[in-house]
Chain A
Amino acid sequence: AQKVTQAQTEISVVEKEDVTLDCVYETRDTTYYLFWYKQPPSGELVFLIRRNSFDEQNEISGRYSWNFQKSTSSFNFTITASQVVDSAVYFCALRPITGGGNKLTFGTGTQLKVEL
């Protein structure tokens, strides 16, 4: 069985602050993908990043960075210098690379509010 835990239900920050969204996962699969999605108020989930279990290199994309640590089963997401447009619900998700079809297991999401 797979499980994704996002313990932070809601986070509020002031614009320009850095913020980290936590994601901890459980899986018996030895190979898997991890994802982050953003859901703005419009409702449509937007894909942000995919990381496979072979690659523990951290990734940076503009103000976004991701820290994957297999030893602690965590895939945390940091937004640097947050902006109001970053306000959204963020979901972490997991799927095996083989088996299980293309099904994603989602966490419960973290609501991020960035205020002026």
Chain B
Amino acid sequence: DVKVTQSSRYLVKRTGEKVFLECVQDMDHENMFWYRQDPGLGLRLIYFSYDVKMKEKGDIPEGYSVSREKKERFSLILESASTNQTSMYLCASSSPGQGAKYEQYFGPGTRLTVT
């Protein structure tokens, strides 16, 4: 079974802090994704990565950056956390190839609160 794990289920940080959210997958997937989930807005893509050291902006990248130094690990970074970044953050991974039909596998999510 595919396993996607996220470093924390719940996180509370202060405004202005630098925040790291870690995601690890164990299925050798090339593609990895970071979403945020907010009530009434569904899931919105922040960043994704097709390979090590590669990253592309999603729909809402402002205020975030990412790092992918190893294939299995994809980190989301909030350089200076703000209260409007309080949200549920979901990581996902999938098999490669634009034509591939493979679905995305999701981690359990990190509920981040910025005070």
- Report which A residues bind B (CB closer than 8 A): 6, 9, 33, 35, 37, 42-47, 50, 52, 91, 97-104, 106-109
Contact = CB atoms under 8 A, between A and B. Distances in A.
Contact of B106 (A44, A52, A108): A44
A46 B105 CA distance: 8
B90 A109 contact: no
A47 B98 contact: no
Contacts, number: 62
Interface stretch (B12-20, B36-44, B60-68, B70-78): B36-44
Contacts of A104: 43, 45, 104
Contact of A91 (B33, B43, B100, B109): B43
Contact of A50 (B33, B48, B103): B103
- Name the interface size band of chain B: 20 to 34
Contact of A102 (B31, B42, B108): B31
Contacts of A107: 42
A102 B109 contact: no
A2 to B, nearest CB: 11
A91 B103 CA distance: 13
